[in-house]
Chains A and B, each alone.
Chain A
Amino acid sequence: MPAPVPVTVRIQAADFDIAAEIAAMTAGRTGIGAVVTFSGLCRDDGGRLESLELEHYPGMAEKAITSIAETAVARFSLNAITAIHRHGRIAPGGNIVLVLAAAPHRRAAFEGAEFLMDYLKTEAPFWKKEHLKDGSSGDWVSAKDADDAARERWRKDS
C-alpha cells in the first residue's frame, strides 16, 4: 500500500521560508519530478497602502483549505501539497500565501496549484482590510467576480 500523500496546511502569523518548505516537502520523495510554487504577496497599487490586515475564521480556515488540498491531491494525482496562509497585518511586499504542488510531471503540478488557489480565494474564510499610510482605515477588499469565474472553470472541466 502506498504511503499517504502528505497534505500540509498551516495558518500562521509568521512569515514562511519558501526554500525550506520545498525541501521539507520533497525530502525522501524521489517520485516527485515537478514542484510548482505559487506565492501571493501584499500588493500596493497606488502607493497609499500601509498594510493589509488578514482576518480569518480559526478552525474553519484550516478545515476549508485542507478539504480543497485533499480534493486537488485526488484530482491531479499529486505526490504532496502544502498550503500556508498568513493572518494579521502584512506590509506591501510581504508574503500572504504559499502553495506548493508536487507531482511526477509538470502539468499536474501546475494544475494542482492553480486549482487550490482558485478554490482558496472563494471558499477559505479570510478577509482583507486596508490600512492606509495616512493612518486611516481603508475599505475591506471586495470579492471579485473574476475569482468566482476562475473557480467555475474547474467545475466545467470535471
Chain B
Amino acid sequence: MSVNIVYFAWVRERIGKGSEVIDVPASVATVGDLIAHLATLGEEYEAAFQMPGVIRAAIDQEHVEHSEPIGSAREIALFPPMTGG
C-alpha cells in the first residue's frame, strides 16, 4: 500500500523534504510500525526518528497515538510536539 507522508518542523528538515509517497510493507500495521520502518530508510530518517517517543502523528489530519492502525489512511503526518500560540 502506498501512503502520502508529510513532515513538519525539524522532522521535515532532517529528512530534507516536506512530503513523499511511501510504499508501506505489509508488516507495517500501526503508526509506530511506520516510524520504525522509516527510521531504516537512511541516515536522514534515522536522525529524524532517533527518539520515536517524541514524534506526534496525525492520520488524515486527526491526531492519533502510535498504536493507531494505519488502515486505509490517505495522508499520515509526522511532526515534533507543537509550539504554536
**In the complex, chain B residues 10-62 whose Cβ is within 8 Å of any chain A Cβ:** 10, 58, 61
Which chain A residues lie closer than 8 Å to B63 at the CB level?
A: 64, 123
User: Nearest B residue to A125 by beta-carbon distance?
Assistant: B82
A55 to B79, CA, bound (A): 11
A85 to B82, CA, bound (A): 14
With A57-B61, A140-B10 already in contact, the answer to whether A125 and B83 are too (CB < 8 A) is: no
Q: Is the CB of B80 within 8 A of A57?
A: no
Q: Is the CB of A54 within 8 A of B80?
A: no
Which chain A residues lie closer than 8 Å to B81 at the CB level?
A: 122, 142-143
Size of chain A's interface in residues, with CB distance under 8 A?
28
User: Nearest A residue to B12 by beta-carbon distance?
Assistant: A55
Which chain A residues lie closer than 8 Å to B73 at the CB level?
A: none
> What is the minimal beta-carbon distance from B17 to any residue of chain A, in angstroms?
14
Q: Is the CB of A60 within 8 A of B61?
A: yes
Residues of A within 8 A of B (CB): 40, 54-57, 59-61, 63-64, 85, 96-97, 117, 120-129, 140-143
Question: Which 4 residue pairs of A and B lie closest in terms of their CB atoms, listed nearest first?
Answer: A126-B84, A143-B81, A127-B9, A60-B61
Known: A63-B61, A125-B84, A141-B83. 15 other contacts (CB 8 A): A55-B9, A57-B79, A60-B61, A61-B84, A121-B82, A123-B82, A125-B77, A125-B79, A127-B8, A127-B9, A127-B79, A127-B80, A128-B84, A142-B81, A142-B83
Residues of B within 8 A of A (CB): 6, 8-10, 58, 61, 63, 77, 79-85
